[in-house]
Amino acid sequence: MDSSSEHWDPALTRLLASLREVQSGGEDVAFLSELLQSKQLHALVQVHNKIVAKGKDDKFYPLLSNAMQVTLEVFELLHNVVSVSKEYGELLSLLQKPHFQAILCTHDAVAQKDYYPHLPDIPPELDDEEETVKIVQLVKSDEPLGATIKTDEETGKIVIARVMHGGAADRSGLIHAGDEVIEVNGISVENKTPADVLSILQSSEGTITFKLVPSFGKGGSRESKVRVRALFNYNSSEDPYIPCKEAGLDFKKGDVLHIVSQDDAYWWQARREGDRVMRAGLIPSRALQEGRIIHERQTDPQTLDGKPALCSVSVTNSDCAPKTPCSPTPTATALLPCKSTPKVKKVIYDITENDDFDREMIPTYEEVARLYPRPGMVRPIVLVGAPGVGRNELRRRLIATDPEKYVTPIPFTSRPQKSSEPNGKDYMFVAREKMEQDIADGKFIEHGEYKGNLYGTSAESVETIVNSGRVCVLSPHWQALKMLRTPRLRPYIVFIRPPSQERLVETRTAANARSTFDKECSRAFTEEEFSDIVRSSNRINFLYGYMFDEEIVNEDLAAALSQLLKAAWRVQSEPLWVPASWVQ
């Protein structure tokens, strides 16, 4: 040992001293002695000691793995109070800086262990010669172990079935899927069932010691980055087939889930985006869920009628099944506002396309990605809902809050231009042949015919508004949704839902609302029309619910408008989840 060895770690020094006492051993001892004296090992031990010393007070695992999500929540809070003080504004602009957000994203990537190198699998031959056993000791706490066990079908041995990402077992880095369990707390698990092993685990206190035969090449799987939007509700406690109920992750339709592992064909591991829990939970895979829905549809066609079924789309109203349309195919929608003063509806759409297309859509998961707002390019805001629910009223009110900013496209028409009508004010006048050709070429997001003339809204007019830095607001017929929801237009779709029928009648009667089913808009809604609004709203939700970014219940107009304004602000300022194909 040279003079620098004075500050060596006492444990290393002791080990070296005892090595010197070993007389035999020849080359092996010399090698070990050289290794123990190497500067690299010395440095490593020092680092280790420092971490251990510091770790007595600090926790070295991250408190959360979604700092960016938390920041977004802070954005929302700050937006509401930004006018109150200069400091809030400063904080908001600091949090919006790309460098700051990059740090948070990096933090989250580290917290989610998105840094493992891809090491080649250890060749299985190495294992043939001798069986390696590892002893893993974990301190028992309130937190579940985060691993499931099963009996291997071929060998009959107890093996680790899966390790939940972010759970205690995963964080230990010592237990991997496929590891064979030999003993738990000194008790052999030979010929025991998984339930027996579970009861050993449950009854043990303090530390739990596993003796495991490691499975090579399976450990440390990197977390996937896939995010999906759930298109159905899931309650693991009602799922008789989940391998481990405690490991299940419940979610609601519309929740964004981070799929951390798709290793198992039937059971994915996921976290709810925004949750602060690091441990992932089990959810049915897309294939499993699709299979279940198809099976349910075949064995119980009633589920198509909206009866809530296990793991299936939950629909609140059974009257509105696609197979039993509750109202005739809607044929009319107003393109122009129907003001309180009686006014003839100028445009009647006759969309002959049927809506069968999406009936076969199997609602499982939609892959999503964050779309960051780009200055000067705001996504169009689309208000959809049942005819008469109040889409146009809300659109008008939104535009009235800032007519320079919120704009609606000018419709095209093939009807003759009157001398008093400047082209491009209320309508863009075009020849019928040209309009027919453009419709055939898919250039219109919606169109219809009224009294022998064509009317419609072109996709290009929407894009012109978007590119001008203003916010395009549309309230199309719901059947236009399929044309609208494209990577080109990237709309933010708000579903305007009626309140309960009772409240619908009360609010509309109190406001002297005019029926949009009456071409003159000269009378109140009838009871039957109110029922139609509620029924077709449920039907639209059943068919197209997976497309909606947000839902607003139009009960109190002022409250609905305020929610719409918040949505409009979010679209302009926050990264939002959209179909992944829109971002790539």
Which residues in this chain contact ligand ATP in the complex, by CB under 6 A? 333-334, 338, 385, 387-393, 475, 507-508, 511, 513-514, 516, 554, 557, 560
CB of 510 to ligand ATP, least distance (A): 7
- The residue (of 51 and 511) whose beta carbon lies closer to ligand ATP is 511
CB of 290 to ligand ATP, least distance (A): 34
Give, for 256, the enclosing helix (H) or strand (E).
strand 256-261
Angstrom distance (rounded) from CA 312 to CA 310: 5
Region of residue 463 (left: phi > 0; alpha: psi -120 to 50; beta: else): alpha
- The residue (of 388 and 456) whose beta carbon lies closer to ligand ATP is 388
Q: Are 327 and 532 in contact (CB under 8 A)?
A: yes
CB of 327 to ligand ATP, least distance (A): 12
Angstrom distance (rounded) from CA 368 to CA 258: 10
CB of 62 to ligand ATP, least distance (A): 45
CB of 167 to ligand ATP, least distance (A): 47
Strand partners, 271: 258
Strands 576-579 and 365-371: antiparallel
Tokens standing for residue 111: 């917290």
Tokens standing for residue 521: 């808009």
- The residue (of 296 and 393) whose beta carbon lies closer to ligand ATP is 393
Taking CB atoms, the residue at the shortest distance from ligand ATP is 390
- The residue (of 208 and 348) whose beta carbon lies closer to ligand ATP is 348
CB of 509 to ligand ATP, least distance (A): 9
- The residue (of 325 and 337) whose beta carbon lies closer to ligand ATP is 337
**18: nearest Cα among 5, 29, 3, 7:** 29
- Size of the chain in residues: 584
Tokens 């609606």 found at: 408
Residue 295's alpha-carbon distances to 30, 61, 283, 292, 312, in angstroms, are 68, 43, 18, 5, 11
- The residue (of 258 and 391) whose beta carbon lies closer to ligand ATP is 391
Tokens standing for residue 344: 């003839």
Q: Are 288 and 266 in contact (CB under 8 A)?
A: yes
- The residue (of 67 and 513) whose beta carbon lies closer to ligand ATP is 513
Strands 412-413 and 428-429: parallel
Cα angle, residue 341 at apex, residues 560 and 500 outer, rounded to 5°: 35
- The residue (of 65 and 333) whose beta carbon lies closer to ligand ATP is 333
